């Protein structure tokens, strides 16, 4: 029944408004305030889902979803989740389910090989905890001196993580980027910032270089940044949450050139690798520094396998103890598609983005804000077309109007004071025809809004 329900959902997905149009509090009005005392049938529950949940869903799997970075699910990813949920093992250490640990190790190596990560990142080579390492050097009382570096385009998660980890919020450097260098972090800006901090008696600790930023898919130059940072003994992380998946294609692999000098590298398989939410893949050169910081060893988990040091206990690589069997999903995706089809899938999105970019370029009212990387196009109505109106306000109106139509969902970013519209292509069901229609929808709404502006001006 659930499979049929989901099959119908996908069959009808284009009939729904991509961005949900419900008002805050809509659900409370439609469902009871208390849990039922007796049991209810699945038929009744599915009716409620159809009637009350689906209208409140923003349809991330719609082919007309172009917002944020899409979350590309797949039947293979879904089957992997079903298996993982059905087996329902708790894989905190090797013993608690050896297959969960060993399949994860293997799948991470499979994927690492396809990304051509240096051998030090793989288990078959010799493959964290930077704060502890630093504090051992400089003394725990000096935690307030540690500095984290990124750019003003670095994902907000890094600043949040630094805050949670006890760094002084004043010691997070969001180094300014600009449109002239496509919002990538310049090595000379990093160097200058580090030198200033050293001069103030602070201690450089961590650098996050981003390959494919959220706002504009900017590519920080990994090699050159590592070249600067490694002189200071900092931990260097390469965040390729979105763009990393594309690096299994030889023609895109250069985006992470220099990763051999980094300490860790991550990508989100749930973004652009057909693996249903959630699945973040992290490679580290020296897992021992992670383990030293994150291991726990309560007596009730003691076991011979762990003591033999022949096994990985993933609980010591992460924050939580409990752990789902996520490797199954990635394994099913890799096997069901095969590297060849996965590459073609990624390439097809890049091609669609190229064609969208060409369409934008043909309309003189619009500009491409930064050269396109991969499958995301950043564009806006150019200020001169705003007829003296505020260009940001016009673009915001245009985006809101498109999204409220329910026919597409794109999102925005503010960079260097500009409100830009992001068209991120990556939903599994998106085809060339959806992209062409999406551009027509942009133009239709622009026609209305720009005419209105012209009249009111």
Rounded CA separation 60/73 (Å): 9
* Interface with a second copy (CB under 8 A), residue from 64, 96, 217, 392: 96
Q: What is the contact mask toward a second copy in residues 230 to 259, using x (rule: CB under 8 A)?
A: ------------------------------
Cβ proximity to a second copy: between 60 and 223 the closer is 60
Q: What residues numbered 318-337 form the site for a second copy, per CB under 8 A? A: 319-322, 324, 328, 331-332, 334-337
Instruction: Output the smallest distance, CB 147 to a second copy, in A.
Output: 14
Which candidate, 295, 311, 260, 267, places its Cα nearest to that of 128?
Answer: 295
Cβ proximity to a second copy: between 143 and 435 the closer is 143
Cα distances (angstroms) measured from residue 348 to each of 107, 344, 353, 354, 374: 24, 6, 9, 10, 10
How many other β-carbons are positioned within 10 Å of the β-carbon of residue 436?
14
Q: Which helix (H) or strand (E) holds 265?
A: strand 264-268
Q: What is the contact mask toward a second copy in residues 378 to 417, using x (rule: CB under 8 A)?
A: ---------------------------------xxxx---
Cβ proximity to a second copy: between 37 and 455 the closer is 37
Torsion angle of the four alpha carbons 266, 272, 277, 280, in this order, in degrees rounded to the nearest 10: -10
383-393 as b/e: b if 16+ CB within 10 A: bebbeebebbe
Instruction: Output the smallest distance, CB 228 to a second copy, in A.
Output: 26
Question: Residue 84 — φ and ψ, nearest 5°?
Answer: -60, -40
Rounded CA separation 176/416 (Å): 10
Instruction: Output the smallest distance, CB 280 to a second copy, in A.
Output: 8
Cα distances (angstroms) measured from residue 148 to each of 157, 209, 294: 13, 11, 20
Rounded CA separation 441/450 (Å): 14
Q: What is the contact mask toward a second copy in residues 344 to 383, using x (rule: CB under 8 A)?
A: ----------------------------------------
* Interface with a second copy (CB under 8 A), residue from 180, 188, 299, 456: 299
Torsion angle of the four alpha carbons 435, 436, 440, 442, in this order, in degrees rounded to the nearest 10: 30
Q: What is the contact mask toward a second copy in residues 172 to 211, using x (rule: CB under 8 A)?
A: ----------------------------------------
Instruction: Output the smallest distance, CB 226 to a second copy, in A.
Output: 26
* 98 touches a second copy by CB under 8 A: yes
* 307 touches a second copy by CB under 8 A: no
Cβ proximity to a second copy: between 333 and 353 the closer is 333
Q: What residues numbered 8-67 form the site for a second copy, per CB under 8 A? A: 9, 19-20, 22, 24-28, 31, 33-40, 42, 44-45, 49, 52-61
Query: Are the CB atoms for 269 and 67 separated by under 8 Å?
Result: no
């Amino acid at each position: 029944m659930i499979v049929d329900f989901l099959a119908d959902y996908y069959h009808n997905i284009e009939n729904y408004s991509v961005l949900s149009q419900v008002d805050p509090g809509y659900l409370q009005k439609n469902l009871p305030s208390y849990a039922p005392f007796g049991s209810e049938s699945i038929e009744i529950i599915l009716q409620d889902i159809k009637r009350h949940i689906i209208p409140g869903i923003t349809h991330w799997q719609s082919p007309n979803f172009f917002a944020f970075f899409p979350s590309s699910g797949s039947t293979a990813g879904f089957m992997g989740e079903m298996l993982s949920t059905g087996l329902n093992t708790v894989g905190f250490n090797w013993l608690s389910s050896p297959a969960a640990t060993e399949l994860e190790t293997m799948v991470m190596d499979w994927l690492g090989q396809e990304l051509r990560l240096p051998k030090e990142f793989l288990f078959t080579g010799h493959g964290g905890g930077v704060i502890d390492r630093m504090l051992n050097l400089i003394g725990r009382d000096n935690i307030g001196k540690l500095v984290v570096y990124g750019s003003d385009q670095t994902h907000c998660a890094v600043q949040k993580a630094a805050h949670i980890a006890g760094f002084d919020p004043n010691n997070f450097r969001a180094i300014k980027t600009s449109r002239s260098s496509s919002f990538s972090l310049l090595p000379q800006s990093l160097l200058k910032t580090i030198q200033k901090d050293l001069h103030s008696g602070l201690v450089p600790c961590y650098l996050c270089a981003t390959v494919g930023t959220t706002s504009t898919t900017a590519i920080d130059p990994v090699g050159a940044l590592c070249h600067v940072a490694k002189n200071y003994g900092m931990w260097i992380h390469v965040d390729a949450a979105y763009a990393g998946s594309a690096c299994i294609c030889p023609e895109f692999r250069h985006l992470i050139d220099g990763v051999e000098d980094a300490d860790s590298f991550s990508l989100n398989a749930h973004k652009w690798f057909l693996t249903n939410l959630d699945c973040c893949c992290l490679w580290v050169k020296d897992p021992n520094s992670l383990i030293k910081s994150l291991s726990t060893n309560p007596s009730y988990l003691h076991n011979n396998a762990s003591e033999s040091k022949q096994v990985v206990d993933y609980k010591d690589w992460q924050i939580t103890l409990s752990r789902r069997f996520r490797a199954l999903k990635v394994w099913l995706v890799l096997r069901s598609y095969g590297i060849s089809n996965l590459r073609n899938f990624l390439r097809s999105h890049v091609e669609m983005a190229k064609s969208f970019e060409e369409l934008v370029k043909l309309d003189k009212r619009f500009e491409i804000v930064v050269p396109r990387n991969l499958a995301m196009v950043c564009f806006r109505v150019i200020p001169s077309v705003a007829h003296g109106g505020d260009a940001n306000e016009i673009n915001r109106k245009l985006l809101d109007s498109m999204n409220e139509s329910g026919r597409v969902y794109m999102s925005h970013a503010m960079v260097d004071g500009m409100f830009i519209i992001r068209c991120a292509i990556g939903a599994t069901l998106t085809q060339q025809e959806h992209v062409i229609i999406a551009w027509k929808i942009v133009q239709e709404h622009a026609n209305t809004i720009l005419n209105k502006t012209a009249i009111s001006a």
